């Protein structure tokens, strides 16, 4: 194939969202302010490289707070925690830094509010995902998880007039709408969340991939296997017409055979993926003749979140 027909389409937006940026910085600041080790419950975000880099700096990742020594510092991950986890941390006198994304906290608030109003809440999300465990833990008696259309037949509610659906923040927008349509066939007065639970970053990355994929023989998504939003980008690319699509953590995972006969490679990354890994893939492709790179931009993102309150500088003269 002539070198000149080889090109890369680079999706924008891609990579870090505001919630991930804040969560990663929270661990870095905690290490700077308090010194190593700093404990982190679960992976701060679902990215192998981020976790390894922070581990090298002195973060210790644990599954549960009972692995953290009494009185030590523990950071809660971007995906959020249930009230039960907060209580366990308090019982062990842990000093907590809450890096839950504010957009996950918003879904928790919705769950609490509709549980208080005694709704049955149908939470669309992936069973076993940490975010879903945290949200469901806010109102276990009111929430039922709907992971796929297969679960719908098993849903039972007390009053079909008082049912609302909420969701995980990192789902496929199209698939979720299909699930909600199927739920509404069963419960015609099913209420929508007060605002979108699937977050702006998830939506924007899917829109960008959809714009790019029909022009691509191959789409590469940089992201880790357990990153829900990254995995969704592979699915969206295939549904939108990409010839093939693969999820990779690093450029070295690109199988040479994937590139056989390929002219246009699409490239994007999940919300938990640092840009340095995308640069690594661009370098890898350039060495093989894909030197021309065009950005496909579908939105500009400017949102940022303040650091967790426990890490903000204390105001001068504030009471101690």
Cα–Cα distance, 79 to 75 (Å, whole number): 11
Cα–Cα distance, 234 to 231 (Å, whole number): 5
CB atoms within 10 A of CB 96: 20
3-state SS assignment for residue 296: strand
Instruction: With both helix axes pointing from N to C terminus, report the angle between 18-34 and 102-116 in degrees, rounded to the nearest 10.
Output: 110
Q: Is 131 a catalytic residue?
A: yes
Tell me whether residue 53 or residue 105 sits nearer to ligand F3S (CB atom).
105
Binding partner of residue 65 among ligand F3S, ligand 0CJ, none, CB cut-off 5 to 8 Å per kind? none
Residues 215-234, mask of contacts with ligand F3S (x by CB under 6 A):
--------------x-----
Tell me whether residue 120 or residue 197 sits nearer to ligand 0CJ (CB atom).
197
3-state SS assignment for residue 112: helix
Binding partner of residue 18 among ligand 0CJ, ligand F3S, none, CB cut-off 5 to 8 Å per kind? ligand F3S
Dihedral sign from CA coordinates of 150, 155, 160, 165:
negative
Residue 219 pairs in a beta bridge with: 245, 266
Q: Which residue number places its CB atom closest to ligand 0CJ?
A: 227
To ligand F3S, the closest distance from the beta carbon of 131 in angstroms equals 8
Are the C-beta atoms of 46 and 63 separated by less than 8 Å? no
Q: What is the binding site for ligand 0CJ (CB under 6 A)? A: 19-20, 45-46, 78-79, 101, 104, 131, 169-170, 227-230, 270-272
Residue 124 pairs in a beta bridge with: 146, 167
To ligand F3S, the closest distance from the beta carbon of 264 in angstroms equals 27
- Burial (0-12, 13-18, 19+ Cβ within 10 Å), 72: middle
Q: Is 26 in the site for ligand F3S (CB under 6 A)?
A: no
Q: Determine which one of 110, 131, 133, 138 is catalytic.
A: 131
Q: Which residue number places its CB atom closest to ligand F3S?
A: 19
List active site positions.
131
Instruction: Summarize as ranges the residues that interact with ligand F3S (CB under 6 A).
Output: 17-20, 78, 101, 103-104, 169-170, 199, 201-202, 229, 271
């Amino acid at each position: 194939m002539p070198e000149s027909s080889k090109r890369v389409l680079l999706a924008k937006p891609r990579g870090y969202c505001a919630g991930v940026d804040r969560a990663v910085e929270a661990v870095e600041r905690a290490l700077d302010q308090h010194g190593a080790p700093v404990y982190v419950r679960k992976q701060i975000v679902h990215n192998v490289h981020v976790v390894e880099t922070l581990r090298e700096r002195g973060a210790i990742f644990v599954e549960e707070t009972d692995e953290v020594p009494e009185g030590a510092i523990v950071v809660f991950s971007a995906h959020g925690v249930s009230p039960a986890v907060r209580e366990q941390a308090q019982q062990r006198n842990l000093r907590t830094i809450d890096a839950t994304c504010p957009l996950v906290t918003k879904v928790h608030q919705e769950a609490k509010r509709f549980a208080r109003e005694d709704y049955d809440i149908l939470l669309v999300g992936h069973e076993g995902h940490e975010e879903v465990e945290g949200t469901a833990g806010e109102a276990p008696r009111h929430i039922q998880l709907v992971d796929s259309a297969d679960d719908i037949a098993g849903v039972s509610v007390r009053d079909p007039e008082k049912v609302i659906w909420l969701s995980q923040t990192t789902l496929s927008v199209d698939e979720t709408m299909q699930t909600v349509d199927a739920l509404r066939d069963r419960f015609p007065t099913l209420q929508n969340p007060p605002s979108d639970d699937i977050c702006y970053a998830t939506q924007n990355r899917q829109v960008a991939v959809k714009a790019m994929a029909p022009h691509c023989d191959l789409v590469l998504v940089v992201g880790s296997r357990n990153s829900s939003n990254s995995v969704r980008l592979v699915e969206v690319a295939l549904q939108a017409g990409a010839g093939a699509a693969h999820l990779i953590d690093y450029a070295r995972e690109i199988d040479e055979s994937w590139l056989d006969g390929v002219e246009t490679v699409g490239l994007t990354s999940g919300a938990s993926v640092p840009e340095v890994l995308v640069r690594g893939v661009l370098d890898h492709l350039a060495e093989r003749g894909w030197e021309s790179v065009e950005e496909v931009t579908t939105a500009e993102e400017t949102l940022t979140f303040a650091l967790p309150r426990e890490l903000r500088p204390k105001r001068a003269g504030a009471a101690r």
